[in-house]
Amino acid sequence: MNVVLSNPEQGTTREQHLIAQVQRGQAELFYELVRPYERRVYAAALAILRNEADAEDVAQEAMLKALANIRQFRAEARFSTWLIQITVNEALMRRRRERTRMTEAIDDHRDDEGEYTPRDFADWREIPSEALERKEVRQKLAEALASLDRKYREVFVLRDMEQLNIQETAEALGISVASVKTRLLRARLMLRDLLAGGWEQGWFSRLPFEKGTKPW
């Protein structure tokens, strides 16, 4: 984790305090409460809708819904998780509506039963997180993610980017825990394959790089 709160406990207490104030009716403080999560809310919506304008609209709708239902939030849940679950729900509803309108094909909910065989075992040097400072690296990573099938992308984004746990991911998407695990495995291995391939094609060529020999 590169972004570390200077004092996480203080952050939580401040958040609890803000939640209590908004619950008492100070709606004008709501933006301050959700600001730390606005990026994650947007990313969750984008993972499902794949369209920036729709994702932004759904992110806003989800926040308004959260404001309207703030009294239902219970302190035992994490506020960020609650917010993301509302967002996922909004985004799924939006997609369902759009699908009905466009009479598109029904989603394939089946998990691939066959085992996934990694394509590339190249011992790619670890991409240091500092590389994320570079826009083209972030772009390549985003493109790799966008190329995944929807069912893998959604699970991966919720678990590995939004940091929901397996159970929360399953609940948010309305699928089983076993499905989350299967899809997560595939998503991670496919992304590794995609990025390992990119490595050899020179995506990260400006990074310090020594050409290694394959270990087998």
Partner 1 sequence: MVVNCQQVWKEISNYIEGDVDAGLRVAMDEHFGTCTRCKSLLEGTRNVVQLYGDERMIEVPTGFGRRLERRLAQGARVRRSNWSTWSAWLVPVAALALITGGLRWANSLTVPHPLQSEHAQPGRNIPPDMVVVVSAGAKDFHVPGCDVIHNKDKIRTLTAKEAIREGYVPCVRCMRKYLQIASISPASSEPVAELSANVEAEDRARTR
Closer to partner 1 at the Cβ: 17 or 99? 17
DSSP class per residue in 99-113: HHHHTPPPP--PPP-
Phi, psi values for residue 84, rounded to 5°:
-70, -35
Query: How far is the C-alpha of 31 from the C-alpha of 24, rounded, in Å?
Result: 15
Least Å distance between CB 51 and partner 1?
A: 11
Closer to partner 1 at the Cβ: 77 or 142? 142
Q: Are 47 and 158 in contact (CB under 8 A)?
A: yes
Closer to partner 1 at the Cβ: 78 or 181? 181
Query: How far is the C-alpha of 16 from the C-alpha of 80, rounded, in Å?
Result: 12
Least Å distance between CB 198 and partner 1?
A: 12
Give the closest residue to 93 by CA, choosing from 65, 42, 58, 125. Answer: 58
Least Å distance between CB 184 and partner 1?
A: 5
Least Å distance between CB 55 and partner 1?
A: 9
Query: How far is the C-alpha of 147 from the C-alpha of 195, rounded, in Å?
Result: 12
Contact set with partner 1 (CB under 8 A): 1-3, 17, 21, 26-31, 34-35, 38-40, 42-43, 52, 56, 59-60, 63-64, 67-68, 115-118, 121-124, 126-127, 129, 132-133, 138, 141-142, 145, 156, 160-161, 163, 166, 181, 184-185, 188-189, 191-192, 195-196, 215-216
Radius of gyration of the chain (CA): 20
* Structure tokens, 13: 């207490």
Closer to partner 1 at the Cβ: 93 or 132? 132
Give the closest residue to 152 by CA, choosing from 199, 105, 189, 195. Answer: 189
Closer to partner 1 at the Cβ: 174 or 212? 212
Closer to partner 1 at the Cβ: 92 or 189? 189
Least Å distance between CB 56 and partner 1?
A: 6
* Structure tokens, 138: 């972030």
Least Å distance between CB 127 and partner 1?
A: 6
Angle between helices 79-102 and 38-49 (to 10 degrees): 30
